[in-house]
């Protein structure tokens, strides 16, 4: 019996020995060749999950090393900066965007003007067309009175001539000699500072981004200040606009003090030596006193470092005469130096430009003609009127 037990033990030891010699070789052969990329060799940790019970008795050092492919270091994708379009001549290029206004004003007016003889009713129809395009009652009366007088004195019969005279009167109503340039050049060793104000949804943040692109296209360096700290999305949106053209955005904690973000933006812009700092502000209109306090403070705090060069009021053209009422709240609070009329592509009431400028006494400097990044045009009265009346007259 003892012999039998001894023989069994011997057999087990022999089998274990043979298996120990053969299995690792087999396993080594089955392993894939090492990857060609950068590799790191690590020891296989004991897992306790092996299916083959034989492996349990294999000594740890007999196990072949695991070859694990090392992941290449994660690299931030290099963002290609966009090359924005230069702003010159954009109004002419984007004139088709005024098609809705053109169909109300241009076509309507030209069909009346083409009549042989213009009587009182025709002149009333002309007035109605201008009023329905939001030119405003007061401005319409002035324009029609002057046109009527010219037609009478000159005895104009030719449609093309009447159209020309109408274009001249509309252009004159837009005061073409007003200074519409933007003060964006650095001076006294500091950047020019632009403050952008307006009600939420008017297109402030978008316009800040678009103006930044216009300046970058002109070879300027720009920094954005996201002083609308009440909406994190606004700061994110602005930052994205900036990243596309290589402009830094200074932002603060959500709900933080807008004036302190504005101050930091100007300070950072000065330290970096950028040409222009553009500050986006919040436009919550529910409380005029609160808004006044907030915007007044932003301006005062920024002015500790130097004057604000330009305060632009952003107005949504589709809000028509309502927008004018809102505009007054802002012009009462801050010294607005220019108006940007956005969303003119989405309205048939392009005449609002005339009303806005006349009522506020502030030049319209830029117009928004779409949601695209370069759909912002310097405002040129004569080109605008041509686009409104259409070239088919
Ligand atoms: P904010 O709240 O005043 O900062 O307004 P945003 O800049 O966020 O703009 C509100 C919406 O108006 C966005 O969907 C913009 O894309 C849109 N918008 C801004 N300007 C224009 C424009 O000129 N034309 C059109 N069609 N949409 C515009």
What string of DSSP letters covers 224-276? Answer: EEE--TT-HHHHHHHHHHHHHHT-EEEE--TT--HHHHHHHHHHHHHHHT-SE
pLDDT tens for 234-264 read 999 999 999 999 999 999 998 899 999 999 9
Q: Kindly give the distance from the C-alpha atom of residue 368 to the centroid of ligand 1, in angstroms, as a whole number.
A: 9
Pick the more confident residue, 333 or 372: 372
Q: Is 338 left (phi over 0), alpha (psi -120 to 50) or beta?
A: beta
Instruction: Examine the pLDDT at 313 and tell me if it is beyond 70.
Output: yes
* pLDDT tens readout for residues 315-364: 999 998 888 888 888 998 899 999 999 999 999 899 999 999 999 999 99
The band of 160, judged by pLDDT with boundaries at 50, 70 and 90, is confident
Q: What is the pTM of this model?
A: 0.79
Structure token pair of residue 204: 């402030």
- Residue of higher predicted confidence among 356 and 111: 356
| Burial of 24 from C-beta contacts in 10 A (0-12 / 13-18 / 19+) | middle
Structure confidence at residue 374 as a pLDDT band (50, 70, 90): very high
23-42: average pLDDT: 38
pLDDT of 22 higher than 50 = no
For the chain, percent of residues with pLDDT exceeding 70: 78
Question: For a substitution probing ligand 1, which of 282, 318, 371, 375 has the most ligand atoms within 8 Å of its CB?
Answer: 371
Nearest CA to ligand 1 atom 26: 370
Within 6 Å (CB) of ligand 1, which residues are found?
Answer: 198, 200-206, 234, 342-343, 345-346, 368-371, 375
């Amino acid at each position: 019996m003892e012999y039998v037990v001894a023989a069994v033990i011997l057999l087990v030891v022999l089998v274990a020995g043979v298996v120990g010699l053969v299995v690792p070789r087999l396993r080594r052969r089955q392993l894939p060749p090492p990857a060609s990329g950068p590799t790191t060799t690590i020891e296989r940790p004991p897992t306790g999950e092996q299916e083959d019970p034989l492996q349990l008795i294999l000594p740890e050092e007999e196990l072949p090393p695991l070859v694990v492919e090392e992941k290449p270091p994660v690299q931030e994708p290099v963002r290609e900066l966009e090359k924005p379009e230069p702003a010159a001549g954009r109004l002419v290029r984007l004139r088709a965007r005024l098609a809705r206004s053109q169909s109300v004003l241009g076509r309507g007016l030209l069909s009346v003007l083409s009549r042989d003889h213009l009587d009182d009713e025709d002149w009333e129809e002309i007035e109605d067309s201008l009023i329905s395009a939001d030119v405003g009652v007061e401005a319409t009366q002035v324009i029609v009175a002057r046109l009527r007088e010219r037609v009478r004195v000159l005895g104009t019969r030719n449609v093309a001539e009447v159209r020309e005279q109408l274009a001249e009167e509309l252009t004159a109503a837009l005061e073409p000699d007003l200074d519409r340039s933007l003060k964006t050049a650095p001076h006294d060793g500091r950047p020019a500072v632009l403050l952008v104000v307006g009600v939420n949804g008017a297109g402030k943040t978008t316009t800040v981004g678009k103006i930044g692109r216009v300046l970058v296209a002109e070879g300027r360096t720009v920094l954005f200040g996201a002083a609308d700290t009440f909406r994190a999305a606004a700061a994110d949106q602005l930052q994205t606009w900036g990243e596309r053209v290589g402009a830094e955005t200074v932002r603060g904690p959500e709900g933080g003090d807008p004036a302190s973000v504005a101050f930091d933006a100007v300070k950072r812009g000065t330290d970096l030596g950028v040409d222009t700092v553009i500050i986006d502000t919040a436009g919550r209109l529910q409380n005029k006193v609160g808004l006044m306090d907030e915007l007044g403070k932003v301006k005062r705090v920024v002015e500790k470092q130097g004057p604000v060069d330009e305060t632009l009021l952003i107005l949504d053209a589709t809000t028509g005469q309502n927008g004018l009422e809102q505009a007054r709240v802002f012009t009462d609070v801050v010294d607005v130096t220019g108006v940007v009329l956005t969303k003119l592509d989405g309205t048939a009431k392009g005449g609002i430009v005339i009303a806005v400028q006349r009522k506020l006494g502030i030049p319209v400097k830029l117009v928004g003609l779409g949601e695209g990044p370069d759909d912002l045009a310097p405002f040129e009265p004569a080109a605008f009127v041509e686009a409104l009346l259409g070239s088919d007259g």
